[in-house]
Amino acid sequence: MTELIENLLDGDHRALARTITKIEDRAPGYRDLVSQLHEHTGQADVIGITGSPGAGKSTLVDKMAEEYRDRGLTVGVIAIDPSSPFTGGAVLGDRIRMASNTGDMDVFFRSMSARGSLGGLSTATTDAVKALDAFGKDKVIIETVGAGQNEVDIVRMADTVAVLVPPASGDDVQMLKAGILEIADLFAVNKADLDGANRTVQELREMIEMRRDELAVATGHHGAVEKTSPGGGGADEETDDEPSWSPSIVETVAKRGEGLGELLSILDDHREYLVSSGQLESKARDRYAAEIRTLLREDSAELLAEEIEARGGIEGFVDRVLDRETDPYAVADDLLDPVVECVESKRD
């Protein structure tokens, strides 16, 4: 085992920080590091927090971390901010909100930027979560702006996903329809002391019920669907044996910590539901399957890029395609065939 990982497992903060840097940079040898981490993971409860800019994510995460610390739990936070697609630079501002936990090293807060790499961010985030998990953090919180596929992918890695919605955000609720509704285990209508909170709660409730009806029709379980109880629900008492989960709605004022207790208890309920329903394991299976596929896709793409270079570069092939000597499909077959042959001959 490398010294860095040994130190990390020993609880050295610097080693943890450096490991995450290597993961982010995809520095030489980072894969070995992550491999070594794997056997020490699987203990942390991973929570994803997402929502539109200004919804109050960082403030809420700060309060959550404080409360978990009061309960004697250790916390890791990964806050992801966008980076400039032009310079790659970024101002990572989430840390400013972490006012309640300054000086407490047992809250490990790390800012990450999207670094504009396609898909790479979710790999880096997965691996950084592993580092925090192996380090021994009880709760790992991933915080990200919920816009676009990339972020949805990231948040999906969490066991439990909370979506923050500011009041009177008709448009944001519209946005939620495009993919985020499906991944939310819990909605927090934050800044609930502002006008329009009730309406937002109402709109969310309607959306959730509409979705439940759709699901019920799709699966043929008409009778099994119950309405969410007022004030959010949690795990449903269903007539079926299978426990199921319908997203709860909670009103919070993150700045003052209002609604925080309810939010955390719903997060705990969801965790319990995941364990009792077997969802935790099936989620982990899905996640590892996706991870293996992603790695293979990246690795084989790299392998083929090398092969293209070895055969004189992509431009040569493009020239022949332009001259109608060959076509893209034929080129792809041509490049892939030796690989396929090689794989087939080595399979056993």
Partner 1 sequence: MSEAQEQRTIRCLVGKVGLDGHDRGAHVIARAFRDAGFEVIYSGLHKAPEEVVQAAVQEDVDVLGLSILSGAHNTLVPKIMDGLEEYGAKEDTLILVGGIIPDEDRDELLDLGVSRIFGPGASMDEIVDFIRENAPERQ
Give the binding site for partner 1 (CB under 8 A): 12-14, 17-18, 20-21, 24-27, 83-84, 87-93, 95-96, 99, 102-105, 108-111, 113, 115-117
Residue nearer to partner 1 on the CB measure, 3 or 323: 3
Contact indicator for 48, 160 with CB cutoff of 8 Å: yes
Contact indicator for 132, 76 with CB cutoff of 8 Å: yes
Residue nearer to partner 1 on the CB measure, 41 or 100: 100
Question: Residue 85 and residue 67: Cα distance in Å, rounded?
Answer: 36
Contact indicator for 2, 36 with CB cutoff of 8 Å: yes
Residue nearer to partner 1 on the CB measure, 99 or 332: 99
Single-letter code of the amino acid located at 51: G
Question: Residue 293 and residue 232: Cα distance in Å, rounded?
Answer: 37
Question: Residue 218 and residue 90: Cα distance in Å, rounded?
Answer: 44
Other residues' Cβ atoms within 10 Å of the Cβ of residue 27: 12
Residue nearer to partner 1 on the CB measure, 96 or 178: 96
DSSP 209-238: HHHHHHHHHHHT-TTT--PPPTT--EE---
The distance from CA 133 to its chain's CA centroid, rounded to whole angstroms, is 14
User: In the 8-state DSSP scheme, what is residue 253?
Assistant: B
DSSP 246-300: E-EEEE-BGGGTBTHHHHHHHHHHHHHHHHHHTHHHHHHHHHHHHHHHHHHHHHH
Question: Residue 275 and residue 287: Cα distance in Å, rounded?
Answer: 16
Residue 293 CB, shortest distance to partner 1, in Å, is 22
Q: Is 45 helix (H, G, I), strand (E, B) or coil?
A: strand
Question: Residue 117 and residue 26: Cα distance in Å, rounded?
Answer: 12
- Residues 6+ away with beta carbon under 8 Å from 2: 29, 32, 33, 36
Question: Residue 77 and residue 59: Cα distance in Å, rounded?
Answer: 12
Residue nearer to partner 1 on the CB measure, 28 or 220: 28
Residue 11 CB, shortest distance to partner 1, in Å, is 12
Residue nearer to partner 1 on the CB measure, 102 or 229: 102
Residue nearer to partner 1 on the CB measure, 135 or 317: 135
Residue nearer to partner 1 on the CB measure, 72 or 103: 103
Phi, psi dihedral angles at 133 (to 5 degrees): -65, -50
Angle subtended by helix axes 149-156 and 120-135, to nearest 10: 20
Residue 9 CB, shortest distance to partner 1, in Å, is 16
Residue nearer to partner 1 on the CB measure, 224 or 304: 304
